[in-house]
Amino acid sequence: MNLQGAPEGSTLFAWFWDLAQEAISRPELLALVYPEQVDQFECSQCAQCCQQPWNIELDADYYDHWYSTFDNHPSGRFKNPFLPATEGTRAVLNKQPGSNRCLFLDQDNLCFIHKEYGAEAKPEICQRYPHEASLHGNLYSPSLKSSCKTAARMLEETGELVLRMVKRPDQWEHPPVEPLQPWIGLLLEGIWQHSISPARCLAGSVFSLKQISANPLFLTELDLLSQLYHGQVQAWRQDTGPKAPRWSECLELFAVLDPFRAPALDRFLAKLKEGNRLPFAVSESERQHLSAVLRNYLTRRLLNLNPLQAKGLTLFQFAFLQAFSLLAVQVQALCLAWYSERRLTPEILVAALNQVETAVLQNPAWFDRHRFNQLDSATCLDAITVATSLDLCLPEI
């Protein structure tokens, strides 16, 4: 790529800067950006994903092609293989009686469909899982769902960010150019190149958010972009000292947006409020581990601009959503740790992350209930500052 003119010392920002220009001059190219673990994933055949409470959705073609084959299977084991589904989907896979095990999951924990008819015969969701991907403009971001234990374990490792250019498949559409790419690159540079903690990175991004909202040309004019870069890096550098979490405001924000109400969580929140501090010590190695998990998590969230496009959020609302989800993951992890061995173990971090993803980010009802897309900029900015004041990646003061 041509990185001429990018600010000296910048890496990811320079790459995304160039990407924004390539989107116009070379629309036949796609930029792939993803944590290297995506390429290294290998299914451990734990079958955990085949026995979850979620539904595996099927389209009409799959239903028509396979229903009678399974229903009439000589073993008689797969009667009523698919159940009617809700709007938008033809059906869902049936489960074994009284359990969440998929009807096709054999005693040896292997998929009957895969064994008998091959991997391509499985429902599309099963073939893809835990891989997912988002496409915005010329930016394609494959990732791994953290609900898969094996993938989640891999995403706890620090790893590298892979940046590649490939030719766009001919049959793929050319979505509109994504003007926010340089800003995404700027934030990614903060967490990957300048080693700023995910919460601090978002807290400091208030600087660039304000600049862009005052003058959207900051995203398109090279001189202004360069100015934005230097101003943002400066803002991060000035924000280095330790800070105490604004506990009562954090907890109030968490309670107002109530991602998952439960009596145990309420008791824990009351305890936090009373003590106004961490309920147990977090070790240095746990902090480092948490930093790697949250860095991969925020990277995935920043590269996925669906909330901006599908839910019509503004940039401020989008940034607040990311800040709130970091807060929610940390509070929930503390709560789970408190009720177990009071250690932020990898399992606890992953469980907290999955709960937030399910209850908040993949839950349209949550967005509707809180009218997220009606929050004004000032409210979002205040809320970002409060939410990011809890930063378990940094030592406690």
Contacts with ligand SF4, residue ranges (CB under 6 A) = 50, 56, 93, 102, 104-105, 111, 113-114, 122-123, 126
Smallest distance from the beta carbon of 356 to ligand SF4, in angstroms?
Answer: 24
Give CA–CA dist 115/136, Å, rounded: 36
Determine the residue type at 20.
A
Smallest distance from the beta carbon of 350 to ligand SF4, in angstroms?
Answer: 20
Smallest distance from the beta carbon of 20 to ligand SF4, in angstroms?
Answer: 39
* Nearer to ligand SF4 among residue 118 and residue 241 (C-beta): 118
* Nearer to ligand SF4 among residue 102 and residue 329 (C-beta): 102
* Nearer to ligand SF4 among residue 95 and residue 136 (C-beta): 95
Smallest distance from the beta carbon of 363 to ligand SF4, in angstroms?
Answer: 22
Give CA–CA dist 209/207, Å, rounded: 6
* Nearer to ligand SF4 among residue 122 and residue 136 (C-beta): 122
Smallest distance from the beta carbon of 113 to ligand SF4, in angstroms?
Answer: 5
Give CA–CA dist 14/1, Å, rounded: 10
Q: Which of 105, 109, 47, 45 is nearest to 81 (CA)?
A: 105
* Nearer to ligand SF4 among residue 68 and residue 276 (C-beta): 68
Smallest distance from the beta carbon of 105 to ligand SF4, in angstroms?
Answer: 4
Smallest distance from the beta carbon of 153 to ligand SF4, in angstroms?
Answer: 20
Q: Where are the alpha helices (DSSP H) in the chain?
A: 12-25, 37-40, 60-71, 112-117, 124-128, 149-155, 181-192, 198-204, 206-214, 222-238, 247-256, 263-275, 284-303, 306-309, 315-339, 346-356, 364-369, 377-387
Locate 111 and state its tokens. Answer: 């998929």
Tally of CA atoms within 13 A in the half-sphere of 163 that contains its CB: 15
Locate 159 and state its tokens. Answer: 């790893």
Give CA–CA dist 219/177, Å, rounded: 12
- With beta carbons less than 8 A apart as the criterion, state whether 173 and 276 touch: no
* Nearer to ligand SF4 among residue 111 and residue 327 (C-beta): 111
* Nearer to ligand SF4 among residue 104 and residue 367 (C-beta): 104
